[in-house]
Structure 1
Amino acid sequence: MPNPSPSPVVVGVTGTSAGLAAVRLAAREAVSRDRELRIVHAFTWSHPKLDQHYDRARRTASQIVDAAVATAQRSTPGVRVTGQLVDGLPDRTLLRLGRTAEMLVLGDDDLATTPWLPTGSVLVQTVARAWCPVLVARGPRPQAGPILAAVDGSECSMLGLRQAAEEGARRNVPVVVAHVVEQAGAEKAGHAVLARAVEAVPELTDYQVRLMTGAPALTLIRASSRARVTVLGPRGTHDAGLLGSVARAVLRRAASPTLFAHGSPLPECRSTSAPVRHPGSALVT
């Protein structure tokens, strides 16, 4: 039996259809990265007066893990997968496992149908605080298309662009480096943001830059409908708190799987005094 991956792809499951969609996506990610898939379900028992139901509840939790493992094996033959029932709170469990994971994968659990995004939810806490990238699954299967990387000049978005470059190279698809300006007349500043971004990430090879005009969150959500994966940072230049306003909206409503960047800080940017050459560019309003 091969040794477990030192940094597996970890997916959290709760027994929902969204969770199983995350398992299928995580299985494909694990195989493409040559990593083990680790499926986890966090079990918490908070009913001391109902101990007679404990065994039944734990069996049900174990069945959730077993079903997820079977789903991974059916959907992605050859995946190396283990399932584990972990005692503890879900968000704390995922954050702990994320310290040594290649990636965390979660389902969206129909977030687009909720009127707001609960700050205390497991998904929000994980997306905001993880140590590794967090991929949120959308729908039964990702669509075709490029990697969409949203940049705004912040350190988080630069880290996202670096991870988008890695995703594009691994999947052999182009990266669209996108920046949104809210009004006409800001195009010059917007192009400067794009130029600094691509200059800071020399790993980018097959890419184009795209300047878009409109409300940033809604514009990116629309653009995500044509993307294979949308990549962004959990916070922007002027954001504070757990998640930035754009990240919150994209988390709720993006049409593609969404990768929230976490990990090692981006190395110091190279000087942008020299002209930047772009393989392709487009202005979209």
Structure 2
Amino acid sequence: MPNPSPSPVVVGVTGTSAGLAAVRLAAREAVSRGRELRIVHAFAWSHPRLDQDYDRARRAASQVVDAAVATAQRSTPGVRVQGQLVDGPADRVLLRLSRTAELLVLGDDDLATLPWLPSGSVLVQTVARAWCPVLVARGPRPQAGPILAAVDGSRCSLLALRQAAEEGARRNVGVVVAHVVEEPGPAAEAAGRDVLARAVEAVPELVDYRTRLLTGSPAATLVRASGRARVTVLGPRGVHAAGLLGSVARTVLRRAAGPTLFAHGGSIPARRTPPALRRTGTALAR
């Protein structure tokens, strides 16, 4: 097997339909980024030499990888793809691979049908702790529309805005920079506009964008807004973060209407005055 290329797009698969949806999305991402697609299935077995079912289970796991590779090649002709069965617990395998990946893609595994978000799940652990951005697939194919970037004034949301700017430039679509205030009123709206202004000032590479000030419950409001977005981008934790994921990120992870990109990675650029060529505007929606 050839050595994997540097900074591939990595997708984790488990044999589910959600995993295959993630493979199709990851294949398109790999081609658009000019990267190799690496399909990974983590295989953990306690005592392989003492268990007569080990060989059968390993063959079944290899078939999961083979089916995912075939899906990628069938859905996206021209994709450079490599499949690999990796020994170890899935969360540890994915977190290790995220150190050198450009992007990690995972399926949602029908999270919206669960009454709560299990903190110990591989998806939650990876979204919260990865070293590179994590794209969670949802639906058969992303719809047309802008990139939606949620900002709240935290450094994590500024990183999300920077990655949203990169996504918009690569896809040649605009970015909607959104901030949600819970209660309408002049003071709250003025503070919200200030959050938006400081966010776009801090990300000078953001060029084609508009700002939106939304009102309502932040999590539910962003879930509704995600229905009109090609991809929703946010940080895994906000200003008042506690635990693995912030409360807004947990809800968006479970209920977003389309693919969601959780920001991880490089540092936040220093503030400087936005270039005059930027297109800006603010809309208030209740």
Shorter-chain TM range is: over 0.9
Contiguous gaps of at least 5 residues in structure 1: none
Contiguous gaps of at least 5 residues in structure 2: none
| CA deviations over 1:144-197 (Å, ceiling 9, x no partner) | 100000000000000000000000000000000000000012100000000000
RMSD: 2.0
* Aligned CA distance change for structure 1 residues 32 and 41 (closer, same or farther; 3 Å): same
Contact 1:199 1:276 in 2 (8 A): no
Q: How does 1:25-64 map to 2 (within 5 A)?
A: 25-46=25-46, 51-64=51-64
* Aligned CA distance change for structure 1 residues 208 and 64 (closer, same or farther; 3 Å): same
Give the structure 2 partner of residue 283 of structure 1.
284
Q: Is the partner of 1:199 in helix, strand or coil?
A: helix
Question: TM-score when scaled to structure 1?
Answer: 0.96
Cα distance in 2 for residues equivalent to 1:279 and 1:268: 20
Which amino acid in structure 2 is aligned with residue 203 of structure 1?
E
Cα distance in 2 for residues equivalent to 1:109 and 1:117: 12
Give the structure 1 partner of residue 129 of structure 2.
129
How many correspondences in the alignment?
284
Give the structure 1 partner of residue 193 of structure 2.
191
Cα distance in 2 for residues equivalent to 1:2 and 1:67: 20
Q: Does 1:108 align with 2:108?
A: yes
Cα distance in 2 for residues equivalent to 1:16 and 1:251: 18
Q: Is the partner of 1:109 in helix, strand or coil?
A: coil
Contact 2:202 2:271 in 1 (8 A): yes
Moved over 6 A (4+): 274-277
Q: Is the partner of 1:282 in helix, strand or coil?
A: strand
Cα distance in 2 for residues equivalent to 1:231 and 1:148: 6
Cα distance in 2 for residues equivalent to 1:211 and 1:281: 7
- Displacement of 1:49 in angstroms is 9.0
Contact 1:209 1:278 in 2 (8 A): no
Identity of aligned residues (%): 82
Give the structure 2 partner of residue 23 of structure 1.
23
Contact 2:208 2:278 in 1 (8 A): no
- Displacement of 1:282 in angstroms is 1.3
Q: Is the partner of 2:71 in helix, strand or coil?
A: helix
Cα distance in 2 for residues equivalent to 1:49 and 1:62: 18
Cα distance in 1 for residues equivalent to 2:276 and 2:241: 30
Q: Is the partner of 2:249 in helix, strand or coil?
A: helix
* Aligned CA distance change for structure 1 residues 254 and 133 (closer, same or farther; 3 Å): same
Which amino acid in structure 2 is aligned with residue 228 of structure 1?
R
